Amino acid sequence: MEIGTRAGESIIDGSHRVRLHDFWGTLSRMDENTAITAQNSTVEEWTLALAQSTGTPGGGAGTGIMLAIAASLTSMVAGYTDAADSQRAEVTAIRERAQSLRQEALRLADEDSSASKAFGAAFRLGKGPERDAAISEASVDAAQASAVLGKKAIDAVDDLAWLAANGKRALVADVVVALGALRAAVAGARTNVSFDLGSLTSSGSTLEQVREQHPVLWSSVGELNAALERIDGLTAGIDHDAAPTDDMS
């Protein structure tokens, strides 16, 4: 925050000077071609990279981050849940799956960033057969990366459904937040797969041809839409406990 000027100079208070130093230091590390990855960078570094107009990381990688957040909250709630003897093995398995998914989601976020880089490079080529071929290849690769991430998100719904019904009641709000993060991951994957398939039309194919050529990717969009509906239903079923003040409005 500027608190005064003298001879054309800005005087910045100490705390903001430190923040600016940190900000420009982070940008400097990015400018030195330091790899910014979901797996190895800080939250500050990764979100600052996301905020740049580079496309890598982009929305697809953000989808992976949302899945990692959902997995982390799933693990947390499972760890707090006092399960009966008959349910203890299930709670342990849920937590182990969630911890594994957190790491997998971060890896997939980084893979999506790589796919996005190739996707953007293809569209920057000059018009012609080479550009059309590059767009086609990059679009399919990007769609496949998003579909893999989306499948992981779909597989995570069952564990959150179990926690919604059996998890520690004091953490019901965390379950709703986890469902929200998972919904964002599923919605992101669904949209990215659909968009990437649609991008194939820029090289001359029709959507009908795209559906015939890539039936598995095409059907994954419907599966992701169905998962969104299920997540919305699970959220609605416990939202009155997580947000009781809504009943008074």
Mean pLDDT of 29-48: 78
pLDDT in tens, 230-241: 999 999 999 999
Q: Where are the alpha helices (DSSP H) in the chain?
A: 14-31, 43-50, 59-80, 88-123, 129-166, 172-199, 207-213, 215-242
Query: Please, are residues 68 and 109 in contact by the beta-carbon 8 Å criterion?
Result: yes
Q: What count of other Cβ atoms lies within 10 Å of the Cβ of residue 48?
A: 17
Mean pLDDT of 210-239: 97
Percent of residues, the chain, with pLDDT higher than 90 = 61
Mean pLDDT of 26-44: 70
Residue 240's pLDDT is: 93
Per-residue pLDDT at 11 exceeds 50: no
Mean pLDDT of 40-66: 91
Quick one: 54 exposed, middle or buried, by C-beta within 10 A (0-12, 13-18, 19+)? Answer: middle
Q: Indicate whether this model's pTM tops 0.85.
A: no
For residues 217-246, one letter each, b for 16 or more C-beta atoms within 10 angstroms of the residue's C-beta and e for the rest, the string is bbebbebbeebbeebeebbeebeeebeeee
pLDDT in tens, 90-143: 999 999 999 999 999 999 999 888 777 777 777 788 888 888 888 888 889 999
Residue 232's pLDDT is: 98
Q: What is the DSSP letter of 126?
A: P
The confidence band for 10, taking pLDDT boundaries of 50, 70 and 90, is: very low
CATH code reported for the domain at 57-248: 1.20.120.680
The CB-side HSE value for 196 (13 A sphere, CA atoms) comes to: 33
Mean pLDDT of 143-153: 95
Q: What CA–CA distance (Å, rounded) separates 114 from 86?
A: 44
The confidence band for 166, taking pLDDT boundaries of 50, 70 and 90, is: very high
What average pLDDT does the chain have?
Answer: 85
What is the domain partition of the chain in residue ranges?
57-248
Cis ω for the linkage preceding 57 (within 30 of 0): yes
Per-residue pLDDT at 194 exceeds 60: yes
Beta-carbon contacts of 147 under 8 Å, excluding residues fewer than 6 positions away, are 189, 193, 216, 217, 220
Per-residue pLDDT at 64 exceeds 80: yes
Segment among 30-39, 52-61, 86-95, 142-151 with least mean pLDDT: 30-39
Residue 249's pLDDT is: 59
Query: Please, are residues 197 and 189 in contact by the beta-carbon 8 Å criterion?
Result: no
Beta-carbon contacts of 196 under 8 Å, excluding residues fewer than 6 positions away, are 119, 139, 140, 142, 143, 146
Segment among 64-78, 169-183, 189-203 with least mean pLDDT: 189-203
